[in-house]
């Protein structure tokens, strides 16, 4: 894997799996509810400018599942602990989907989590008009169909989704889904108190969304912008819920321009 190593870091009494690669200032990348897909093309590109840290959240991938991590607020506590221990406070960060919600919770807890942050298709705030798609009453295959606006433009389709998953991958995906259920079940994928708490945020925040997001409605980009003073929004046209996978070049361009 180009430039990336896989490490195990002991945090809060458990092991955390972290992909680490590149050089330069640290950049913390927080994955979404579906799990850690590893250092994909976008992460490789970012690693040319930054030292990218891509951990698997507790309960995901090969990371341990501490019993006390039951909610997104617990998870945010876990990560501030990790940051403190590893000297990774006040760093740049990107959070995708549920990872964007995680980054927002961290922002609401402390002023020194991040120096700059990107929230991409972030869950966490309840839309006014639409709904965040309930991924727990549809099959993983149905979720996948909703993630991408146009599968034909996903450059890593064959590697990521082109073959049937192995039994180990299926088992891993179930473990990841179970952790997502634990963290986000009720209220589903949002925290009613989050917008008010985001009032404290003063770090530069960039909100990025796929125009055709079928999971977290694009109106949530505006709600995040309202909640975080001075934040800016970019909407990528003809793109679904995961711009970093569906349009990695556009995504990386926007990320580098901001970070």
Partner 1 sequence: MFLMRFTERAYVNYTEEDVRNSPNEAVRLTFSNSNFNPEEGHYLYNMYLDEYEYSEEVGFDGLMLNEHHNTPTCLGATMNLEAAILARNTKKPKIVLLGNPLPIFDNPIRLAEELAEIDMISGGRLVSGFVRGTGVESLATNTNPLHNRARFEEAHDLVIKTWTTPGPFRWEGDHYHFRVVNPFQTPLQKPHPPVWIPGTGSPETLVWCAERNYPYIFLETDPQGTQDMKSIYTEAAREHGYEPGPENFGYLVRIHVQDTDEKAYDVGKGYMVGNIGVGRIPLPRDYASPVGYGSRSDDPRFLRLREQIRSDPFRVGGLDSAHYDEILDSKRWIIGSPETVVSQLREVLSYMRPGILAVWTNDGSISHEDTMRCLELMGQEVLPALREIGEELELTDPFQKEGVMPGLTAV
Kindly list the residues in this chain that would bind partner 1 in the complex (CB under 8 A). 136-139, 174, 177-178, 181-182, 185-186
Q: Which 3 state secondary structure label does DSSP give 190?
A: strand
> Cβ of residue 139: shortest distance to partner 1, in angstroms?
6
> Cβ of residue 135: shortest distance to partner 1, in angstroms?
10
Residues in the chain: 259
Order the strands of the 26-30 sheet from edge to edge: 4-11, 14-22, 51-55, 26-30, 91-96, 114-120, 205-210, 232-236
CA 91 from chain centre, in angstroms, equals 16
Give which of 179, 148, 153, 230 is closest to 33, Cα–Cα. 179
> Cβ of residue 157: shortest distance to partner 1, in angstroms?
24
Nearer to partner 1, 139 or 152 (CB): 139
Nearer to partner 1, 7 or 178 (CB): 178
Nearer to partner 1, 138 or 196 (CB): 138
Nearer to partner 1, 152 or 166 (CB): 166
> Cβ of residue 137: shortest distance to partner 1, in angstroms?
6
Nearer to partner 1, 85 or 142 (CB): 142
Contacts of 164 by beta carbon, 8 Å cutoff, 6+ apart: none
Q: Are 208 and 251 in contact (CB under 8 A)?
A: yes
The dihedral formed by the CA atoms of 147, 150, 156 and 157, expressed in degrees to the nearest 10: 80
Give which of 118, 150, 139 is closest to 214, Cα–Cα. 150
> Cβ of residue 73: shortest distance to partner 1, in angstroms?
16
């Amino acid at each position: 894997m180009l430039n990336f190593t896989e490490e195990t870091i002991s945090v809060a009494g458990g092991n955390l799996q972290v992909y680490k690669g590149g050089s330069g200032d640290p950049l913390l990348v927080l994955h979404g509810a579906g799990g850690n897909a590893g250092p994909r093309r976008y992460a490789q590109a970012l690693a040319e400018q930054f030292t990218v840290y891509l951990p698997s959240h507790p309960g995901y991938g090969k990371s341990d599942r501490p019993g006390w991590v039951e909610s997104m607020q617990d998870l945010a506590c876990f990560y501030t602990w990790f940051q403190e221990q590893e000297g990774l406070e006040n760093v740049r960060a990107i959070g995708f989907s549920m990872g964007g919600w995680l980054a927002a919770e961290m922002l609401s807890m402390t002023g020194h989590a991040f120096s700059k942050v990107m929230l991409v298709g972030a869950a966490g705030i309840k839309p006014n008009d639409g709904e965040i798609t309930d991924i727990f009453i549809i099959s993983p295959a149905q979720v996948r169909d909703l993630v991408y606006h146009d599968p034909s433009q996903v450059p890593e389709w064959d590697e990521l989704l082109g073959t049937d998953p192995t039994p180990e991958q299926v088992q891993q995906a179930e473990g990841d889904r179970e952790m997502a259920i634990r963290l986000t079940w009720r209220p589903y994928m949002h925290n009613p108190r989050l917008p008010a708490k985001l009032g404290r945020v003063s770090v530069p925040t960039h909100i990025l969304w796929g125009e055709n997001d079928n999971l977290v409605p694009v109106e949530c980009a505006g709600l995040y912008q309202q909640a975080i003073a001075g934040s800016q929004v970019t909407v990528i046209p003809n793109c679904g819920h995961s711009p970093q996978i569906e349009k990695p070049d556009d995504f990386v361009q926007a990320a580098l321009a901001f970070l």
